Amino acid sequence: MELSVEGFHSLGIGAVLRCVDSGSEWITVDEIGYLETGCKEYCDAVRRLMESKRLAAVVRKQDTPFIREIICRKDVFVLDLDGPYGVLGCVIMASGLGKRFGGNKLMAEFHGEPLILRALSATDGIFLRRVVVTRHEDVAELCREKGVEAVLHDLPYRSDTVRLGLEAVGDVSGCLFLPGDQPLLRRETVAALALARVNDPESIWRTAFGDTPGSPVLFPRWTFPELSALPEGKGGGFVVKKYPERLRMVNVRDKLELMDVDSPEDLAHLAGQ
C-alpha cells in the first residue's frame, strides 16, 4: 500500500489536478478502486475534479467509503456494466387491424423486409424478455422464427393487448410498450430509455420530439396493476395522464423516429427517408 500511495503522490494527484485546470469539459478516469481510496489527497483531488468538470469514470464494485460517496452523489449517473439495462420486459404491440392501411401493415415490405422486423431490431439485446402481442398468425410465426415470443389472440381492445403482454413478460422491474409500426425508431433511442430509468426507476419514461410526446413508453412496476386493469379500449396513455408528475421524457433528434404507419402513403414516405 505504501508504494501505491507514493505513486499517487508522485504522479496521480498531479495528473488529476492538471485535468482540473484544463480547458476540457469532459475528463475520463480509469479507474477508481480500493487502492485509490487509500490516498486521502488523491480522493480530495478527484472531489475537486468532480466539482469542476464532467467526469466519466470506471469505478470498481468495492465497498469503501469513498466509492460509496461517489455513487451516492445526486449528480452522478451510475451504470452497472454487468447489467446496464436492469431487469426489463418489452411488449411489442402488433394487434392493429390495419383498417386505414387496407390490411395487415406489419407484414408490408419496408426496405426489403416485413415492417414488424424493424421493431425487433430496435429492441434487440436490451430486454430480459420480449413479447409480440398480435392477432395476425403470420406476424406471430415470423417473430417466433426470429426467436421472439409471440402471443396470438383475437380479443378486441388495446387494453387486452396491454394485459396479455404484461402477463407474458412475467417478473420484471419495468416494461416498455412499443408500437410495431414505427420503422425509423432507432435502437439507440430504446437503449436511452432503458438507461435513463436506471437512476430514476420509479418514473414513467417516454420518448418525445420537442414538447410533443410519443411512443415507446417505459412503465415501472408500480404501474402494472393499473395497466392490467385498464378500461376497455384504453392503452398505457390512460395511466400516463393519471400521473403527470411521474413522467420523464427522452428527446429524439428526428421526429420521424416517432412516426407510425397508418396508410400506404405513410409507409412510402418513411421508406424514402
Task: Give residue-wise pLDDT tens across range 167-211.
Answer: 999 999 999 999 999 999 999 999 999 999 998 999 999 999 999
Residues 166 and 264 in one domain: yes
Residues 238 and 106 in one domain: yes
Query: Is residue 79 assigned to a domain?
Result: no
pLDDT at 4 exceeding the cut of 80:
no
Query: Is residue 228 assigned to a domain?
Result: yes
Number of structural domains, the chain? 2
Sign for the pseudo-dihedral over CA of 244, 165, 115, 198? positive
Rounded-to-integer distance, Cα 141 and Cα 149, Å: 9
Residues 246 and 161 in one domain: yes
Residues 60 and 105 in one domain: no
Q: What is the mean pLDDT of residues 163-168?
A: 97
Boundary (domain end) residue, out of 40, 71, 102:
71
Q: What is the mean pLDDT of residues 217-226?
A: 98
Question: Could you give the C-alpha distances from 246 to 27, 112, 182, 203, 239, in angstroms and in order?
Answer: 32, 40, 25, 5, 10
Residues 95 and 196 in one domain: yes
- Which positions ≥6 away from 232 have C-beta within 8 Å? 157, 159
Rounded-to-integer distance, Cα 67 and Cα 77, Å: 13
Cell of 215: 411512443
Provide the residue range defining the domain that includes 28. 2-71
Q: What is the pLDDT of residue 258?
A: 96
Q: What is the mean pLDDT of the chain?
A: 93
Contact 110, 269 (CB under 8 A): no
Boundary (domain end) residue, out of 71, 97, 120:
71
Q: How confident is the model at residue 9 (pLDDT cuts 50, 70, 90)?
A: confident
